[in-house]
Amino acid sequence: MSLVTDAAVDEWQARLLGLSHSLHAEPETAFEEHASAAKLAAIMGAAGFDVSEGVCELPTALRATYGEGELTIGICAEYDALPGIGHGCGHNVICASSAGAAIALRAAADRYGFRIVLLGTPAEESGAGKQLMLERGGFDDVTVAMMAHPGPAADTAAVGDSTQACSRFAVTFRGRPAHAAGAPWDGVNAADAAVVAQVAIGLLRQQTPPVYRIAGFVSSGGDKTNIIPERSVLEYEVRTPGAAQLDALRRRVHACFEAGALATGATVEFRRTEPDYLDLRNDPWLIERYGSHLPAFGRAAVPLPGGVSAASTDMGNVSHVVPSIHPMIGLRGVTAMPHTHEFAAVTVTPAADEALLHAAKLLARTATDLAATPDRRAAYLARQHTGRR
């Protein structure tokens, strides 16, 4: 059956590459992916899928279905870009490869009696669109979920490969304005509160494990040099190897902001800007099957150092509920790192096009393996019916 799914990807190659390049040429950021979602909807409709747009109360989310059966293979497609950088994380490649995998599975779905659900998932970079879709029932009927993410050079396909959990929040300091020359002592400087907090965070970093991450920026720190700033706003994130450590690190960082308020007399408010991202849990059987097909494409999996990527993904949230895989597909010969202009430039090169087509075939082969293996199929369905994990 793998020859059939591979041939289907080859048949749709021109349209899949066209989709990837079109998304790259018209990048759209989180929750603004209207043209991107429409392009994905168009190709899935042309392939005979039943397409519903604006699902889960998200205007740029979509669902495309094909086939019938209790077993439902979910393929996740991402298409949001990075502000100022464009497709520096290769979501154009993800979207087209996921579309290709879903289209390639049509013959297998007819033969083995299962359903394909292509889920267009917005706002992966910021906003945790998949978590919102989870909360709103978008994955309720999905038995397993899968996607592949492009990266520089290396492929990954180990059960222990994971991503970091991540929490993002905004911090607002409020003080009191005053004339910066005439009576600065009458003011309460909200910008100074931000400085004190950032110094405290800088010192905190040496007391946290090397794999922890704290990052942020000041989005507002005053209006005029002759006015003591009455308001400052910072946006921050914290990352840990697993969700279990996330809350403890967040509390320590919050304490640094509270120190800034205490030192200056300002008040401080915290606001979560999006749902937390959870660590990725690759399903053992599915990721083993995916990895077993890599040699057919001249690829070999490379273990992640320490088993954890420094990146975060809302596919981690899905993996805590639905058996999932999220391997990396290497852009061969590429050394540029994601989230850079350099990586954005290579996501429409021949190396990216090759990775796109390989990922589509690898995902389709993995899904077919499940559909054609009765005991594994029954095991995943039983898990779905008994509360997942």
Q: Which of 221, 249, 272 delimits the end of a domain?
A: 272
Answer yes or no: do 142 and 178 share one domain: no
**pLDDT one-digit tens code per residue, 170-207:** 999 999 999 999 999 999 999 999 999 999 999 999 99
pLDDT band at 28 (very low <50, low <70, confident <90, very high): very high
**pLDDT of 337 strictly over 70:** yes
Cβ atoms of 73 and 117 closer than 8 Å: yes
pLDDT at site 318: 98
Answer yes or no: do 120 and 7 share one domain: yes
Instruction: Find the domain containing 217 and state its range.
Output: 165-272
Answer yes or no: do 82 and 153 share one domain: yes
Task: State percent of the chain over pLDDT 70.
Answer: 99
Task: Please give the full DSSP string across 69-89, using - where no structure is assigned.
Answer: SS-EEEEEE----BTTTBSTT
pLDDT band at 10 (very low <50, low <70, confident <90, very high): very high
Answer yes or no: do 43 and 63 share one domain: yes
d(C-alpha 130, C-alpha 370), whole Å: 23
Q: Domains in the chain: how many in total?
A: 2
Q: Which of 256, 272, 288 delimits the end of a domain?
A: 272
pLDDT at site 388: 57
Average pLDDT, the chain: 96
**pLDDT of 126 strictly over 90:** yes
**pLDDT one-digit tens code per residue, 224-249:** 999 999 999 999 999 999 988 999 99
Answer yes or no: do 147 and 293 share one domain: yes
Mean pLDDT computed over 352-379: 97
Answer yes or no: do 153 and 294 share one domain: yes
**pLDDT of 3 strictly over 90:** no
Q: Which of 210, 238, 272 delimits the end of a domain?
A: 272
**Residue 340: helix, strand or coil by DSSP?**
coil
**pLDDT of 257 strictly over 70:** yes
**pLDDT of 57 strictly over 60:** yes
**pLDDT one-digit tens code per residue, 36-47:** 999 999 999 999
Mean pLDDT computed over 62-78: 97
CATH of the domain at 326: 3.40.630.10
CATH of the domain at 219: 3.30.70.360
d(C-alpha 308, C-alpha 280), whole Å: 9
The dihedrals phi and psi of 296, each to the nearest 5 degrees, come to -65, -20
Answer yes or no: do 366 and 282 share one domain: yes
